[in-house]
Structures are given as C-alpha cells and as structure tokens.
Chain A
Amino acid sequence: MRNVLLVSIVVFLSFTSWAGETLDRIVATVDRHPITRSDVEQEAHFTHLTEGKQGEITNREEVAALERLVDRDLIADQVAVFGVVPVTKEELEARVLEMRKQLPGGESDSEWRSLLAEYGLSDEDIASRVTQEIQMLRFIDLRFRSEVRVGPRAVQTYYDAKFVPEMKKKSRTPPPPLDQVQDQIEAILREERVNALISDWLKTLRTQSRIQTFDPSLPLSGLDKKTPDISDVHTLPLHVTGPTEAARQ
C-alpha cells in the first residue's frame, strides 16, 4: 500500500511538474505582425536544412533567425503595399526542385521526406518559405537593382585600388587586364551598392516600425531602451547653459 502511495505521489508530481508548460508563444511583434516561438524554430530549422547542419539549434542561431524574421516581416509589408508579380506554381516547383538538388539526398522523394521530418518541416513550410523569398527578391530587383548604375570610373578605381593589389598578394601571375574582368567587377560593385541600399533601407524600416520583443532569451539588436523619439517635432535651435547644465557635464 505504501509503495502504491509512493508511486502515485511520484506519478502525480511528475505530471504536476509538466503543468503550465509553454507550448508556443509570441516572442516579438513587428507593427501588427506577431512572431511566435515556433516561427523562430522553423526558421532556424530551415537554415539548418539549407546549410546541411546537424544537431540542436543554438540560442545564437535562434536570435539570428528572429532577426531574419523581423526583416522579412518589414519587407513583406512593403511587398504588400507596392505589389509584385505573383509566383506561379511552376516557378515554385522549379525553385524547390533546384533547392533539393543542392542538398545531399534531396533529389529522392523518400529521402527528402525523411530530411524534412528530421528538421521538423513540412512541404507546406518549404513552399510558403520559398514563395516568400521569390517575391522579396523580385521586389528588391524592382526597387533597387534598377536604381544602381556602375560607371567606368568606379570599375577602374576598384581594379586599381583593390583587385590588382589583392591579386598580387595572392598570386604570382600578373593580374589580368581590366577588359577581361570588367563585367565581373561591375557585377560585384552593383551587388555592393544594392546591398548598401538594402542595408540603409532596412535600417530606415526598423526605425519607422514598432518592433517589440517579449522573450529575454531572444534579444534583438538595436532595440535598447532609449530616449523617446520626438524627431518629428520641429523647433528653433536651443541651447541650455547654466549651473544645472554644468553640473551635468
């Protein structure tokens, strides 16, 4: 009887220790969009899948995943406002197929299924994720790539200041003439500028949006408590001097 009672207590305690266990929760919001813990996990798993990583997700990877999700939400808002050509079923399938080809075992249906199961992902998760990416890249192409122009002077400067010195440092062969690598340098510079534009743009979007986090284990960068933003108030210039100010300094 005593044993039965002991077992019962152990069983009871083991169950009560599970009571109130968190299954999922909202960990951040970007304006009106919530990001759940399971969104973060899914994003981290997807990265693991595409990078062929094994093992448990680290906290750093989760934070990185959350950063990506925030940026994606910000861009998705812009996509919704400006609109892009919708992704067709054929396009999606082609992209997913290409992705599978780059993953070991991804080409075989059965291995792809077990791969997805291993990373806790479903076909729907992949489809939704790839669709979103295609749309964003289209938007970025439309929004930024058409704006970027690379002139011959920039190419020449890059060639003289970076390409040739690096080439000399890494190889004994003489650097190729500019006309042979001009297209590649142009492409690099174009991407560099597009990246710079995207970077600035995302920075602005983050400033203009209301981003909140609710999980201390997932700290987002740039969301430190700061003085209230009242930059929209335009007043005449003002300097305060005197004992109070001096004491503060």
Chain B
Amino acid sequence: MQQPSARMTFLSEVSDSLDRALSFMIPRSTLALGLAFVSVIPCLAGQAHSSGPRTVKNQTQNEAGTASVPNQAASAFARYSGYRIRSVSLKGAQRIEQSDMLKSIPLQPGQILDRATVRASLQQLFATGRFRTIAAEVTPSPDRFLDVNLVVEEKLFIGSLVVYGAPRPPTANQLVNSSKLQIGQEFDEDLVAAGIERMKRVLAEDGYFAPTIRMDSSIDPAHQRIELSFIVDRGPHAKVGQMIVKGDPGYPNGKIRSIAKLHPGQPVVASHLSRAFTRLHKKYQKSDRLEAQVSMVDRNYHTDTNRLDYVFEINRGPIVDVRVEGAHMRRGLIKKYVPIYEEGAVDEDLLSEGRRNLRDYFQTKGYFDVRATSSLSKKDGRELVIFDVDKRKRHTFKDLAIQGNKYFPKESIRERMAIQPADALQRHGLFSSALLEHDVSVITALYQANGFQAVKVNSKVVDDYQGKPGRLQVQIDIDEGPQTLVKSVTITGNTTFSQDVLLDQLSTIPGQPYSTYLLGNDRDSIVSYYFDRGFPDVQIETTTNPSPDAPNRQDVAFKLTEGRQVFVDKILISGLRYTKPFVVNREFEIKEGDAMSQSRILNTQRKLYDLSIFNQVDVAPANPEGNVEKKDLMVQLEEAKRYTIDYGIGFQVQTGNVRSDCENVAANPTSTQVCNPGGATGFSPLVTFGVTRANFRGRNNSIVFRTNLGRLQQRALLSYVQPYWLNRKDLTLTFNALYDSTQNVLTFSSERLEGSVQALQQWRRGETFLYRFTYRLVKVDQATLHINPLLIPLLSRPVRVGMPSISYVRDHRDDPIDSHKGSNYAGDFGIASRVFGSQANYARVFVENSTYYTFAENKNAGGRRWTFARSTRIGVEEPFAAGGNTIAGIVPLPERFFTGGSNSHRGFAINQGGPRDATTGFPLGGNGLFLNNLELRTPPIALPYAGDNLSAVIFHDAGNVFNSTGDIFPSLANWTQPHRETCEPQSTQPCDFNYISQAIGLGVRYRTPIGPVRVDVGYNLTPTYFPVRDDPVRGPYLDRTGRINFFFSIGQTF
C-alpha cells in the first residue's frame, strides 16, 4: 500500500515540474478544482500573452510593481469609513441635462460611505454608455461629511461620415462603407485608424497605392457628437505592368493578355480585373475546358515605375465533352440543366444534380417515366460526360383527383399545387415526381397550419387512366385527422400594453385552429409591436399545453419580458447645405420624445429618399449599446446634384400620318395628289433634351424644361412643381407652359400653346383630386387641313380656350403598369366659357372605369394567374352659345373626342374612328365618346429564351365617337353601321356613323422592368364606311377603315 501512494506523490511532482498549471487543475476535491481555477486563469493568461511581443515600458512597470505599494483607494475607503455623504455631483459633463442621471444612481446624499454603493454607482453610470471613464473623487470636511464628485470623461458618437476627394472608382460611398464606421457608433481613434486603413486597401484595389487620408472633425459637446470628414489625396494612379502567367494556360502570354484585356499602360481598376477573370473563364468554357482554374497568385507594385504586375496561375484542365444521348436537347438547355457548366467542375454530386434536373425537365414535357443515367470516362486527356436519357412513353397528365378533404375545398388545394393537368396552354400538363413531392408537402403544411397536426397526405400516380394508354391520373388522398383548436390564450409579463391590445395583434384566437406556424407569426407580431414602440430588448417565451379538460384543444401562453423602453432625445441632422431644415423636418414620422420606433425611422428614411433631393439618407440612434432611456437620433443626409441634364437621339414611327407627297384640298382643290384618308406611316428622327433643377430655393420645388424635336412632333414643356403647397402635405401645385406642334389626327396639324395651373390633392389613399385651370391657344395649320373648306370657319379657326376643370381619380389597382386586381376610376369635368377668356363655350365630362379580376391563380407556380380586365369610357362635350354667338357655341376641332389606336379602340388606326368629312373622308372627331374594352390576359407562358416573361391577351373593343352627345345612347343598340347606303358617294343623305364598332384581337406582352412591351393585332368586325367625293383621280368612291390594325407600345391598354 505504501508504494502506490509514493508513486502518486511522485506523479504529482513530475506534473508540477512539467506544467505549473496542471498542478492546480488536478482536483483533489471538487472545491479544490473550483479554487484552482481562480489561480489557473492568470497562469493561462500569462501563457497566452507571454508569446506575444511586450513593450519594454510594460515590462519596466511590471518590474517596478514587484514592490509593495500602498493601496490608495483602499486606504481612502478606510480613512473615510463612517463619513456621511453630503453631496453628489457630476464633473466634466458637457452634455446638457446629463446631471439628471444622478437621481437614479444608488449613491445619494445622506448615506454613510459604502464601497459597494460607490462601485454600483460607477457601474450604473458606465452602463448608460455615455461615459468613457468615471472616477469617484471625494472632498472631506472636518464634520465627517464628504462631497462626492463623479468625474466623467464623455464619449463622442459619430454624427456624420463624409469622404472628399474620392477618385470614383472607388466612390465616396464605397469608401465610407469599406471603413466599417457607422453613424451613431462611439468614436474611437483605433477604429477610425482601422477605417482609414480599410479605405486605403479599397483605393489600392483601384490602383491608388500611395494615398493619404486626412481626418477632420467637428465636435458638438452638448450632444456628444463628432462629425468626421476624410480628405483623400489619391496620389498617382498605377498603370498595368506585366502579366505573368504560370501553370498550363494553353495559350501564349500575349493571347492571355488580349483575352483578359489587361494591357500595359492601362489604369489599374478593380472592375477591369474582375472582368478579366470572367473573360478568361468564358474563353475556356467556350473551348469546353469546363474545369479550367484561373486564379491570381500575386501582384507586384513597383513604386519606381508606378506599374502593377499581375501573376496569374491558369490550369486549363481537360476538355470536358458533355453529351445528352437518347433524347434531343438544345445546347443552351444542356448548359442550363447540367450544373457542370456553372460550377466549373466534374464530380459525382454535380452529375447527380444534372441527372435530377434532366429527369425533371423531361417530366415537365410529358415523359413522366423518364430515366437518366450518367457516365464519366477519360481518354487522351479528355473527359466525356454522357447523360443517357431514356424518355420512355410520353404521357398526358389528364386528371387530378383530390379525395378525403373536408376542411378545404378542392379549389383551395389545387390553387396551391404546382402540378397542372393538361389544358390548352400545356398539352401534356405539368408534372414531375419532384413537383408532386413538393405539392404533397405544401398540402401537409396547409393542413398543419390549420390545426390538423396528424394530417396524412398520400399521392398515387395512375397510368393508362380510363384504359387509354399514356393518360395519367394523380390521386391525392388526404386523411385530415382531428383538428386541434386553441382553447385559451394568455399573455403575462406585459406592463406597458394591456392584454387586449396585445391580443389584437395575434392570429391565435380561442376557438380557432391551433397552428405552430401561426404561433411563430404571433410571436413575431408581438416582438415587432414592442420593437416598434421602443423596446429593443423584448423577449417572448411561448408555451403550449394540451388543455386538461378538452381533447384536441391547446392552451397557449405568451410570457413577455418587456425590457427597457427607449425614447428619442434629440434629432441631430447633418449634411444640409442647400436644403432648408423645415423641408426635412416635415418628413419626420418620429419626433423628439417619441418612442424609438424602427418602423417610423424606416418610414422617415423612405420619405426622405422619396423627396428625390438626397442621394443618401442614413438614420441611426446614437449610443446603441448604452442603457439610457433617451437616445439621440443621428441623421446624415447627402444632397443630390441640383441640376440634371438629359438628352437623347431616337427615331419616331407613327402610323396614320398624312403622306408628305400629297396635297390638301383646302390649299389646292384641283390637285391630283390627294392624301389618302387612311393615312400612312410617318418616320422621323427625334431629339430630346431636358433640364431639371431640383430642390429650387432649398424648398424641394423643382423646375423642369423638356423638349422633343422631330418632324412629327415639336414639343416644349416648362413646369414648376411645388409640393406642400399652403404647407399642406396633401397639396401639390404645378404650373405648366407647353408648346406642342403635333399631327396626331389625320385631318390637321395643330400648334398648341398652353398654360395651366393645377393643384393636386391627395385626398385619401389611392384617391386624388385635380383642380386645374387651362388656358390654351390652338391653331390649326391651314396647310395641313384635309377637310371640307366649308367647315374651316367653324372647326379649324384658331381658338383660345380657357377652361377650369376638376378631376377625381380613384386608383385601387395592384400595379398601375400591369394590373391584375383592383379597380380604377377617373372622372373629369371642365367648362370653357367666355367668362374664363375662352373663345369657345362648351362643357366637357369624361369618365372612365376599369376593373380587374384574377382567377385560377396558382400561388405555387410563380403566381400564374389569369386576369379578366374591363374598361368603359364615356365622354360628352356640349357646346353652348354665349350671347347668341353661334361660332362660339361650336367645339373646335382640336378639342373634340377622337378614338382609335393602341390605347383606345384597336379596330381603328390612330384616331380613325367616328364621323368623317363628307367630302374628303377625313375624321372629324365628335362630341360624344363611348368605348368599352374587354381583355382576357393569360398567365406567363414558358417559352425558350423568353422564359416566363411572355403572356398573351385576347381582347374585344367596342365603341365609337359620335357627332353629338345625344347620339351615344341610341347608337348602343347599333352593332353594325346603319344605313350604309347613305355612305355611298352618290347618296344625298349624310352618312350615318352612329354605331358601335367592334373589334376582336390578339396580343402578346413581354414583361420588362418598365412595364410590358405590347404587340396587338386588332380585327375590326364592323369597320366604318365613308364616302370620298373629291378624289380627282379615282373620282367619288366608297371607302372604309382598315379591318386589320397592328399596334406596338409599352404598358397595358388600360
């Protein structure tokens, strides 16, 4: 027994000599281990740091410290033991109202000095995050009282970060972002130094290897704010030097350089290098070197020559030949579905993914039994990857049977499924085992989210359905199981908001289905409710238990820990140079004293961006880590450039133009070069130029000047926009001056000079009123007139119109550019009268109503949905004679309604509908308008190259323009042109144009970011017949508008 004990002792001695730390860690008892740890830490810390370099200064201090030194602080506490605190004050604080904090700390006048209280007070003050250091100093008095001074050094928080002199690239914003400094954070010299180094790294990437960055600061001690500016002196811009290529590139250096386009002498730009990588990769991909490795192994910058040499390592790898056998597949599709191309590697995982992708692809084509295998072989330095596809029999997914569902109707389930039985658009249906698997999980999740925790969903695929080979039926069997409902919901721990208020945020309601998904949402709802009201530390614990007295019922409990509430102290804005502060202030949804609401901060940020006068808006609370009740909100704004100039050169094409080689009857009644009333296509170059002056007078007013100049159109617009008119958020005042010389009606060209003033009132969400006064002078170019000269005095004389008008728009569409749901209503009423300086007297009413309905929506298939859209437009103009002046009681030609074109009646070319001149046959427009459009819009149709961007439209347009308002309603019953014989040139009766012309047609839409590009073909079922009586070549004849019309434009018709 003696020996082992001796051995144990020796063992310990050995370990002692080997590692001092171990001797403490070998536990002789649990307590010993506990105490040992206390001692181990310094040993470990010593080990940890002894390896690193230590300055001589520190060593000296340590050595000096080996001597015993009197403990001042300890002696101070001992010396003043039993002293009473007379006063507590804060020293060194420059921030306003900082001393309020003293009320909340434990150290208070009247107390006996206590070390724990002093320490707790220091800790509490430090936790506010406002102080860098704090010391408690005392001044004793002979009567054993102490005056305590808490001497603080305040922190500074970054209020703004601006970079001047950025070379672009990198831009000032890129440099600020790279610094990782953020507004609101504590100013720390080390972090700023690191930020500057980071900026230098980014500058070096763009070829600036010797930049200097100087920091300027401006301190606002009253708010503990520091504004930082970094002034960049970029230094010389390095040029590309040599390009050294190592490895096995397969091309000579010169070739590699020309592929990479990194030529000596070019400036060094980071994006050029990344493009060089892309080009090299593409080059190797094109030559089937799919596993080519291109990397940059070194860069050498020569300060004497200011050149940067690149060292590339390129290994081209073997030629990889990827083939799909057993089925035809386009090369583009192979590249899309075989991930070897994208990943640039060949391995079993990628081959397996390729097999899966090919299987899914062929299954969506109806080859539901398809099998795909792959093989990889190597020969002569080449790799051959073969995907062997056995398509087998082609099927048609004919029927989808859903059984066992009681809670959800079949339609609700089907609209969530991705597999689709065959229909007109998909002849074989849409099916694959992966899609079916996905659908089963979607249905399961749907039931589980509604309390059916034990739901079982099984699928079965039946081939040769109804005995017909190739037909497929998919059966979905649902065993719903019992539904679990919520028995009770309790919320505890809420002190700021009542239970009722919080219950309103929840979807989990007693009696409703129990769902873990909804519970998660509810938790998030409560968190965001609190978060939005300034509780950044709110925590919620959710517990659910089966209700003891009711089967399939759950008791739900939310236990809250609210944490502290944070409020906004001061809002500190920086970066305003031209903008008046009130322009910014009125956009703030959050005010001083409000709870620090994240959503309000984001809304404010969004609204400031919406002003379009700021490039950058950063908002952040200062002192993010402090636990103070009130925090400043730092706002940094970067004003955008105030002048914008845009210009462009384009080409304009317009159908329905007067031919340039024809003559008008007014100018030359005997001419043989008479224009065709049907018009021709006009071409013209188009020059556009615009200048915008934003933020005029620093009040966010803007002045816009815009011109379009071409042969078909000359247009100049000057406008002045003043939002917040009368200091009201909902009012915007606009002044417009317009000159327009356009030929958009075959009958004439007009010059329009218009001035208008308009107040826009945003009444409610989606509802707008427009109050407008328009004053315009329209002059018909007599040289372009193509109507009966007798009508000239009445219709084509120069006319001045002064018209006040009011419009109401209610737009509740989901997307104004490409609407699928909702409605749009617009109404306009105006009256032109001598009272308003008008030469013509008439009243004008125009209403339009459009509605959009979505049906057969499939949420799982990328939102595939059909849309039915309809629109009805009615317009009436009623002249009234003022003081017996009959000329003043005629609506002038340019003010009349016209119809026809891509945005109105697609059975007519542009503005070709309605009554016509009895002699020349040119359209005259009318005082009444009725137009009804119906459209059936298909979901996106997947096509090669077009992807999911293409969809189709079937439309029906019905309507016309009528000579007088009274003709509208009697004409609604006329679906063909009545009394066509009156339109014969020989007829003495006036041709009757009072009918509803109808057109059907097809269109395609290609989705683009600026709206759908549209091509429509309209076929007019009932074209308008009209006489042409003055054609000196053909003589009088009966003409009609074209049946087929093509239109090309952007955006839906309505």
Contact = CB atoms under 8 A, between A and B. Distances in A.
A233 B119 contact: no
Contact of B137 (A20, A72, A187): A20
Interface stretch (A63-71, A108-116, A149-157): A63-71
Interface in B40-54: 40-42, 44-50, 52-54
A136 B64 CA distance: 33
Range of interface residues on chain B? Answer: 35 or more
Interface stretch (B140-148, B775-783, B1019-1027): B140-148
Contacts of A36: 119, 122-123
A206 B204 contact: no
A13 interface: no
Interface string B60-85: 01101111111111101100100000
Contacts of A235: 201, 204-205
Contact of A242 (B52, B296, B302): B302
B19 A195 contact: yes
Interface string B180-194: 000000000010011
Contact of B10 (A60, A170, A233): A170
> Which of B127, B133, B304 has the largest number of chain A CB atoms within 10 A?
B133
A80 interface: no
A228 B181 CA distance: 13
Contact of A239 (B44, B190, B201, B300): B300
A186 B53 CA distance: 34
Contact of A24 (B8, B62, B70, B135): B135
B17 interface: yes
Nearest to A27: B133
Interface string B123-143: 100110100011111111110
B119 A39 contact: yes
B45 A221 contact: yes
A249 interface: no
B298 A239 contact: yes
A238 B29 CA distance: 56
A236 to B, nearest CB: 5
B494 interface: no
A20 B147 CA distance: 9
B26 interface: yes
B10 A23 contact: no
Interface string B26-40: 100111111101111
A78 interface: no
Contact of A68 (B41, B67, B76): B41
A148 interface: no
Interface in B10-25: 10-11, 13-15, 17-19, 21-22, 25
B107 to A, nearest CB: 10
Interface string A22-39: 111110010010101111
Contacts of B29: 98
Contacts of A67: 41-42, 45-46
A119 B58 CA distance: 29
B42 A68 contact: yes
Contacts of B47: 199
B70 A56 contact: yes
Nearest to B118: A24
A238 B204 contact: yes
B4 interface: yes
B335 interface: no
A26 B15 contact: no
B960 to A, nearest CB: 69
A206 B48 contact: yes
A202 B32 CA distance: 22
Given A34-B126, A166-B17, A191-B22, A20 B70 contact: no
Interface in B289-311: 296-305
Given A36-B119, A230-B198, A188 B26 contact: yes
B136 A25 contact: yes
Contacts of B76: 21-23
A120 interface: yes
A137 B34 contact: yes
Nearest to B71: A57
Contacts of A60: 62, 65-66
A163 B122 contact: no
A6 interface: no
A56 B68 contact: yes
Contacts of A29: 126
Contacts of B45: 67-68, 70-71, 202, 221
B301 A241 contact: yes
Interface-centre pick from A120, A221, A244 (highest chain B CB count, 10 A): A221
Contact of A58 (B66, B72, B302): B66
Given A195-B44, A224-B58, A240-B303, A37 B68 contact: no
A166 B116 CA distance: 50
A136 B209 CA distance: 48
A185 B65 CA distance: 38
Contact of B73 (A41, A59, A187): A41
A50 interface: yes
Nearest to B13: A170
A15 B298 contact: no
Nearest to B126: A34
B6 to A, nearest CB: 8
Contacts, number: 270
B20 to A, nearest CB: 10
A221 B7 CA distance: 39
Given A58-B66, A239-B298, A242-B302, A230 B41 contact: no
A20 B92 CA distance: 13
Nearest to B59: A219
Given A23-B77, A195-B44, A59 B201 contact: no
B240 to A, nearest CB: 14
A184 interface: yes
A41 B138 CA distance: 19
Contacts of A130: 34
B325 interface: no
Interface in B353-369: none
A209 interface: no
Contacts of A170: 10, 13-14
A244 B194 CA distance: 23
A173 to B, nearest CB: 8
B126 A19 contact: no
Given A58-B67, A228-B197, A26 B22 contact: no
Given A20-B149, A230-B197, A233-B198, A26 B71 contact: no
B580 interface: no
Nearest to A100: B31
Contact of A18 (B21, B140, B178): B140
A117 to B, nearest CB: 11
Interface string A186-229: 01100110110011101100100000001011010110100111
A224 B61 CA distance: 13
Contacts of B73: 22-25, 37-38, 41
Given A163-B14, A233-B198, A237-B298, A195 B40 contact: yes
A11 B143 CA distance: 13
Interface of A: 11, 15, 18-26, 29, 32, 34, 36-39, 41, 46-47, 50, 55-60, 62-64, 67-68, 70-72, 95, 98-99, 102, 120, 122, 124, 130, 133-134, 136-137, 140, 162-163, 166-167, 170-171, 173, 176, 180-181, 184-185, 187-188, 191-192, 194-195, 198-200, 202-203, 206, 214, 216-217, 219, 221-222, 224, 227-230, 233, 235-245
11 contacts: A20-B149, A26-B122, A26-B133, A37-B73, A38-B119, A67-B46, A167-B10, A195-B19, A230-B201, A235-B205, A243-B304
Given A18-B140, A24-B136, A62-B65, 19 more contacts: A20-B137, A21-B76, A22-B136, A23-B76, A32-B625, A34-B123, A60-B66, A68-B41, A72-B41, A167-B10, A185-B11, A188-B22, A198-B40, A217-B65, A222-B48, A222-B49, A230-B198, A235-B205, A236-B205
Q: Which 4 A-B pairs have the closest CB atoms?
A: A242-B303, A59-B65, A228-B194, A25-B135
